[in-house]
A and B are shown apart, each in its own frame.
Chain A
Amino acid sequence: MIYKNAFGRRAFDWANYVFLGGAALLCLLPLIHVLAVSFSASSAATAGFVKLWPVDFTLASYKYALNKPQFIDSFLVSLERVALGALINMTLTVLIAYPLSKERRQFRWRSVYAWFFVVTILFSGGLIPVFMVVKQLGLLDSIWALVLPGAVPVFNVILLLNFMRSQPKELYEAAFVDGAGHWSVLWRIAVPLAKPALATLLLFICVGHWNSWFDGLIYMNKPEHFPLQTYLQSVVINRDPSLMTTTEELKTLSQISDQTTKAAQIFLAALPILLLYPFLQKHFIQGITLGSVKE
């Protein structure tokens, strides 16, 4: 291609590269700064000397965080909720999406069920009634309070059912001709065919559970039941002194400044996501375009 104005084009290209590169860096700088703070000596951090590289490198903040029983407890609660939550969410998503992906002539109740689930996107009882129900069911301070209220992820169901509908119907029909029932078709055909979609949903569900903090805050009274993000919220955002119980802890804290320990805990809580990130990224674009093909 020939440009009328080759110089203008090249100048634009350069400016564009600089701008985009700059914007991308700007997205990461705050995170890099916090990482640098977490590895720095507290005096340097408090004085504001730390920019993007650790000053007086030390692992003291990480030692402090990892030796804190509360931190470890919360980490385990988070792992438990991710495992349980992912299992329940995935099972229900598959079990709901498959029947709803059938056409009306195959499943006459399809629209009734579909609306039954979609209504929950449009309207909800609100914070207080849901809280009261969880309380009435005796789930407060139990791991189930973090897993059961969101057991049916309706948006994921919609993504998966649209994905299933975009699959060639002949595959299913052949199985029915061979005399298979819905359960074996679901298990032997629909699930294997939906594997890429399921992998994407699984990643998103795990990230969602890992990142949830508000349910832990309202349903858990005892700090040892907090998932990690709720614990982090109480330490980093609310600075709740009751969570630093022992004088020993208060003493260590005065030695290693608030700022660096907070930074270390922020980074540790983000670490699993950062480790998953290469996979997330691979499935990410797929996830956005997932189920966008409709018939």
Chain B
Amino acid sequence: MKIREKQGGEASLHLMLLPGVLFVLAFCYYPMTGIAIAFEHFIPTKGFFRSEWVGLEHFHYLFQLPNFGSVLRNTVWIATMKIVLGLVVPILFALLLNEVRRTAFKRSVQTMVYLPHFLSWVILGGVLIDILSPSSGIVNSFLGYFGLGPVFFLGDEKWFPYVLVVSDIWKEFGFSTIVFLAAITSINPTLYEAAVMDGAGRIKQTIHVTLPGMMPIIVLMLTLSLGNVLNAGFDQVFNLYSPQVYSTGDIIDTLVYRIGLVDAQYSLATAVGLFKSVISLILITISYTLAYRLANYRIF
């Protein structure tokens, strides 16, 4: 066809991509070759490939570290709680919000609940440190009215993981609520009419129409979150934790930071990071494959 041939040359398309390709090569692909330092006694001045090779030494050392097991457990436990509650809470909230008829009220609630999503964990960390303080924090003075506490939420290893999960839900549930609400509004209204004809009340409509209608997006969100099982939220943990709560609150990413950039054990930190990257790659591949099979999802 004539038109097809006329559609500009491919050369200009290559040219458009060139700057992006160069940046990605420099800051994504070139660092990938830096994985080599996990297998060396890396000396920064010698570059990625000239240091002494030591094979798997750092990995052997890593798996013998006494706290590595607990760090791995913390990471998976915190991330899993966040994934599960991060789905359940917004779904319930969207269902309840869907029952509201007054648009003004509905909109105000939405506006209020997703505000924290746009603030950084530095700001929210500062807020949490203030309100959870055992001496002057508003939460503990509130608990005081009931003769409870004071609880040192951020300094007590028993409480810390749950504080992480609750505060993460606080920040993000509004965002996900919108996603589910959008899914609910796209359900065909004739299905509800048919259900009413069959004598279904609101509860039955929710169970038999709304929830099945939301299922594709729920399955999609669940499968995609599988790739995050090793992402327990570096920004949040880093801004809230302290040595007192390392036993339950230290995660892989914070460990990499401390080993690598605080203690300057570059090779060991890279080994830990590589361990995480490889497992994450496997999980993400599985999750994208599942999302494609179950929800017909493609990234592009």
Report A's interface with B, CB cutoff 8 A.
Answer: 1, 3-5, 9, 12-13, 16-17, 19-21, 23-25, 27-28, 30-31, 33-34, 37, 45-48, 50-51, 91-92, 95-96, 98-100, 102, 105-109, 113-114, 116-118, 120-137, 148-152, 158, 161-162, 173, 176-177, 179-183, 185-186, 207, 210-214, 218, 229-230, 232-233, 236-237, 259, 262-263, 266, 269-270, 273, 277, 280-281, 284-285, 288-289, 294
Query: Smallest Cβ distance from A89 to chain B, in angstroms?
Result: 10
Closest 6 CB pairs of A and B: A129-B34, A126-B273, A125-B31, A211-B120, A48-B136, A24-B112
**Cα A183 to Cα B96 with chains together (Å):** 49
Contact B178 A233 (CB under 8 A): no
Contact A176 B12 (CB under 8 A): no
Contact A135 B300 (CB under 8 A): no
Residue with the highest number of chain B CB atoms closer than 10 Å, among A51, A124, A126, A289: A126
Q: Point out the residue from B3, B109, B299 that lies within 8 Å of A21, measured CB to CB.
A: B109
5 A-B pairs with C-beta separation under 8 A:
A109-B14, A113-B17, A125-B28, A128-B256, A176-B6
Residue with the highest number of chain B CB atoms closer than 10 Å, among A34, A117, A127, A162: A127
Name A262's closest neighbour in chain B (CB-CB): B126
B113 contact set on A, CB distance < 8 A: 23-24, 27
**Does B105 reach chain A (CB closer than 8 Å)?**
yes
B234 contact set on A, CB distance < 8 A: 214
| Binary contact track B104-123/A, C-beta < 8 Å → 1, others 0 | 01001101111110111011
Residue with the highest number of chain A CB atoms closer than 10 Å, among B48, B136, B196, B261: B136
Name B181's closest neighbour in chain A (CB-CB): A285
Q: Point out the residue from B21, B136, B257 that lies within 8 Å of A47, measured CB to CB.
A: B136
Of B69-77, B155-163, B277-285, the one with at least 4 CB within 8 A of chain A: B277-285
A161 contact set on B, CB distance < 8 A: 300
Report B's interface with A, CB cutoff 8 A.
Answer: 3-4, 6-10, 12-14, 16-17, 19-21, 23-24, 26-35, 37, 44, 47-48, 93, 96-97, 99-100, 105, 108-109, 111-116, 118-120, 122-123, 125-131, 135-138, 141, 170, 174, 178-179, 182, 196, 201-202, 234-235, 238-239, 253, 256-257, 260-261, 266, 269-270, 273-274, 276-277, 281, 284-285, 298-300
Name B174's closest neighbour in chain A (CB-CB): A27
Contact B17 A152 (CB under 8 A): no
**Cα A108 to Cα B14 with chains together (Å):** 11
Contact B122 A124 (CB under 8 A): no
B32 contact set on A, CB distance < 8 A: 123-125, 129
**Cα A149 to Cα B30 with chains together (Å):** 11
Known contacts A107-B10, A236-B125, then 16 further A-B pairs from the complex at CB < 8 Å, ordered by chain A residue = A20-B109, A24-B108, A27-B112, A99-B16, A106-B4, A123-B277, A124-B277, A131-B261, A152-B20, A161-B300, A183-B12, A232-B126, A236-B129, A237-B126, A280-B118, A285-B182
**Cα A270 to Cα B126 with chains together (Å):** 11
Contact A27 B122, CB 8 Å, known A102-B13, A123-B32, A132-B34? no
Contact A30 B131 (CB under 8 A): yes
